[in-house]
Amino acid sequence: MVLTSVEKIAGLQKKTSGIRNICILAHVDHGKTTLADCLISSNGIISSRLAGKLRYLDSREDEQIRGITMKSSAISLHFVKGDQEYLINLIDSPGHVDFSSEVSTAVRLCDGCIIVVDAVEGVCPQTQAVLRQAWLENIRPVLVINKIDRLIVELKLTPQEAYLHLKNILEQINAVTGALFTSKVLEERAEKETESENISDTAPGDQIYDWSAGLEDTDDSHLYFSPDHGNVVFASAIDGWGFGIEHFAKLYSQKIGIKPAVLMRTLWGDYYLNTKAKKIMKGDQSKGKKPLFVQLVLDNIWSLYEAVMKRDKEKIEKIVTSLGLKIGARESRHADPKVHLNAICSQWLPISDAVLSMVCNKLPSPLDITAERVEKLMCVGARTFDSLPPETQELKSAFMKCSSEGTAPVIVFVSKMFAVDAKALPHNKPRPLTQEEIAHRRELVKQRHAEKLAANQGKQLSEKPPSENSSEVTGSTGDTKGEDQQLTGQAEIVTSKAMKQEADNKESFIAFARVFSGVVQRGQKIFVLGPKYDPAESLHKLSSQCSATNDMPLVPHMACCTLENLYLLMGRELEDLEEVPAGNVLGIGGLQDFVLKSATLSTSPACPPFTPLNFEATPIVRVAVEPKHPSDMPQLVRGMKLLNQADPCVQVLIQETGEHVLVTAGEVHLQRCLDDLKERFAKVQISVSAPIIPFRETITRPPKVDMVNEEIGKQQKVAVIHQTKEDQNKVPEGVQVDSDGLVTISTPNKQATLSVRAVPLPEEVTRLLEENSDLIRTMDQLNTSLNEDKKTHEINQKTLDRIKEFKQKLEQNLQGRKWRNAVDQIWSFGPRKCGPNILLYNFEGYKRSVWQCLGNAVKEVSKYRDFDNSVVSGFQLATLSGPMCEEPLMGVCFTVEKWEMNKVGEMLSTSSQDSGESDAIEHKQNEDTTLTSSFTDEVCSANEHQDSSQSVPKSPEKISKPKGEALLADCYGPFSGQLIATMKEACRYALQAKPQRLMAAMYTCEIMATAEVLGRVYAVLSKREGRVLQEEMKEGTDVFIIKAVLPVAESFGFADEIRKRTSGLASPQLVFSHWEIISSDPFWVPTTEEEYLHFGEKADSENQARKYMNAVRKRKGLYVEEKIVEHAEKQRTLSKNK
């Protein structure tokens, strides 16, 4: 196969109907990169002998060492089928769960995908995850069942068993697709029902609910994988063969004389061949006959393998001649039978033909983009397509046409930025010299040589007496002048070389992008739209026709940039392009200052930013990073910025403590980020902290039984020394704590008193709040804009419906006497106004709700109105760092049961509401209080500024500053600040009045292991506090699948340990799943007789929760109560130690 030139590919890019943008998705180690190698070798980029060994698309060194793909990379292939020419933009993606964010970036740019499944392992957790990602992005999948050679060589199955096994795998995959489809149909149906309920009222007799009614009518036949649909290829990428059944249908239609269409339908399924009647009959199983697929396809492959493995020369020759193949002597004599096998199979059933022809037949071209997908891409967050401005809706037709005309608006989506060594860029590469250049250089060298000779002669002559030939001397001086010029020229060359080296060391960023409409040209000016950009707002300021060259007014979340370079992505290579038409994948240079991770580029300001990518993995593993030498800090900071840009999933933070923190998706991902930081981006020595493990704090109901399972309250307590100590520490004076946990506390100036109680939220509610954090954030934004009397764009009906549904769910889960009216009394969520904790108000004379946006907004005028935001801020601070180890709270509900304002406080609030009476109030305050009004105006203005920034901005007539405000700032500081601090303290003491618990982050862990290493896997799990949920044996194999949960805190080094203990036979897959309460009480000390007997006086066996808590406190520099050796002289004697 000849290499395709860049010009040829640039020509193919213009034929949109012949383009296929595809990515390869699968579980880790199922053979994606090997399959990609086979496809690349068909284009002559690599040798077919090296396919599978070279792993061409794994261009990083650590990818080659570890043997897994870590980043998605693209390559363009040329494929000819009949008289049609196709351009296939292939993206290889990682299968490891830590890098699933790379899968999201690849899937967004494609129209179709190849799902690869290992024939032995079948459907694995990551296979389900990638199918789900493909489904969410509305792209069409085709299936490759890979590693079929393992069924023959390793499992030694007969063709009949292999057929049943393959059938089983297909069923499993179709079950996953079916589940995704069902959920979608039922969602749509629920939406239709709610619409129809509003329109028609049916008679009560018709209301029988049948959940599957929507499923019967919808056509789902195109969804499933089936060989007779032509969307399944059976393959063994390492041996270089693969086939779809149409290949055999054509072959046998000539031999048997049955139409290919009939064979296509019957080659897979319960059909057998009646040789006497030369007819295909149904029902092979019942009659004990071989299915067609086994008889005509699998038997042949099995017999070929058997012949080659056993070195049966006669049989091999017979097969080779009957298939009409030419096998070289080198392959047939090779010591490894696999080489011989590869040579035969790759000629007989070339995998690249089978896979690429399936891709061209079954996967859509960019022209076939569905309207549903376009609308999904264009609607960010809760917006529906109909609520977008009309200019924006017109762009839908440009998407659908995918036209490359000059008039079409350019729309490009950048899914990620990747770093490339500056040496790899096309303009920095050494290029081959032309004949003219070679001749020119030859001339220069000759000239220099002649000059040197002349100079030497000049020296010899100058040693003779000068009178003889003065003319020659003058000649020689002329030469030296020339030589001087030459030296200066050389110096220039040296300096330019040094500059070049400096430039070479730099990383340059290239955007991984796809053109959805229009033609992108080098040097074109274009808008960069950030994820929060709103076309509705900007279209008021700009005309929809304005281009990126005009001088524009400033628009938020929008920038202008020039596309400096366009590249064709060819795996490890990049090639320069002048222009790229619609429907192609490309690399864009020169965007690193404008795009952080992903962005939408367009020449039309009406274009909305695309929906953000949905990442499967949550970044959870944190480490603090610092340079070994403090002077390297600026390089580290710069390096971390570059790393943040180069990786779609990593997060880079500077914590309140000033630490630089990396947040990554898992251990392998963390290791890769640190290597990149050291070697590519910062290029300095760094020291890395132990992983920072996140915890959450919560409270539980008081337990019924104690640590030795005796009922609490029945035993007599023995000297409760520790307990009393703890209790004394907890509550300072001035704080009253009732027996049922109600905490009452006053502000330092005694102007206000708060009573707060903390109760644990039911688990379902906590989960609901976590899942809907985005919705809560949207609610908060809507309420703020309502309070500011801003006319926001009409609140979307769909969003309102979601908020109503959320409220109903909360009401269902918060039932009972204790939670009466709780949902209507929700004052705020926290931390950061969208977290899994709730603040309720339960006192008279105040009404304010988070459900304002649902239309029940009440303009409240009460004495609390001006300071309610201070209370909310206090709650936000309290939930952000709990009392145990300053970690955020989770699943706690605080109720403010009493809020009393003193006379002065009341007057202040009324005065700030009614500025007309401010003078009278001021006189009264001067009489009533003995406070000196010697505070300067500065303090007051600072206080008012703080107050207005924290509370809801008042309407203009209220802002005129009342003079009484001066009294708000007393010797304890501004009153609003005192309220915040008091509320925070009240929440903390309310928490400490209840049994506190730590919550640990948990991974779900899936391990595939054979029976002989099961025991070792269990040993490692139990040592690390893991809990096995289920184990099941995979049908037809001796592999067990173990599902377990494991605390994140115990997971470091877990994968390595399991591999070591099981000699590499088991490999775990860790995905962050949920937060779980650690059952032991971190403050527990033995109090009853039984507990003393069981645990000893000091309870030395330190409980897990306390260990975690102290570790976090130590890391944060908080006080840790540690045991110091008492009675050191009481040493154990030697005889006891024996």
Strand partners, 1007: 1042, 1068
219 band by pLDDT with thresholds 50, 70 and 90: low
Residue-wise pLDDT tens digits, 257-316: 888 888 888 888 888 887 777 778 887 666 778 888 998 899 999 999 999 999 888 999
Burial letters for 355-384: b for 16+ Cβ neighbours within 10 Å, e otherwise?
A: bbbbbbebbebbeebeeeebbebbbbebbe
Report the distance separating Cα 1099 and Cα 1085, nearest Å. Answer: 7
Neighbouring residues of 585: CB distance < 8 A, sequence distance ≥ 6: 21, 74, 76, 89, 91, 109, 512, 513, 514, 569
Dihedral sign of CA atoms 707, 709, 714, 715 in order = negative
Q: Do the bridges between strand 232-236 and strand 140-146 make them parallel or antiparallel, or are there none, so unpaired?
A: parallel
**Average pLDDT for residues 931-940, to the nearest whole number?**
35
User: Which SS3 state, helix, strand or coil, does residue 33 take?
Assistant: helix
Instruction: Confirm if 380 and 164 have CB atoms less than 8 A apart.
Output: no
CA 58-59-62 angle, to 5 degrees, is 80
Residue 107 pLDDT > 90, yes or no? Answer: yes
- Alpha-helical (H) ranges within 656-706 are 667-676
> Tokens representing 233?
């290829």
Omega prior to 409 cis, within 30 of 0: no
What are the pLDDT digits (tens) for 659-705?
Answer: 899 999 888 999 999 999 999 999 999 999 999 888 999 999 887 77
353 or 479, which is more confident? 353
Confidence class for position 967, pLDDT limits 50, 70, 90: very low
How do residues 770-796 score in pLDDT, each as one tens digit? 888 888 888 888 888 777 765 555 567
Residue tagged 């997971």 (tokens): 1051
Q: What are phi and psi of 387, to 5 degrees?
A: -85, 0
pLDDT tens digits for range 1049-1091 = 999 999 899 989 988 888 888 888 899 998 888 888 777 777 7
Nearest to 699 by CA among 984, 986, 992: 992
Instruction: Enumerate residues 6+ apart whose C-beta is below 8 A from 384.
Output: 796, 798
> How far apart are alpha carbons 884 and 531 in whole angstroms?
38
- Greater pLDDT, 440 or 490: 440
- The answer on pLDDT for 464 being more than 60 is no
Residue 761 makes CB contacts below 8 A (sequence gap 6+) with 769, 836, 837, 838, 891, 892, 893
Type of residue numbered 395? L
CA distance 840 to 822: 7
pLDDT band at 913, cuts 50/70/90? very low
Residue 624 has pLDDT above 90, yes or no: yes
pLDDT tens track for 181-215? 888 888 777 777 766 655 544 444 444 445 455 55
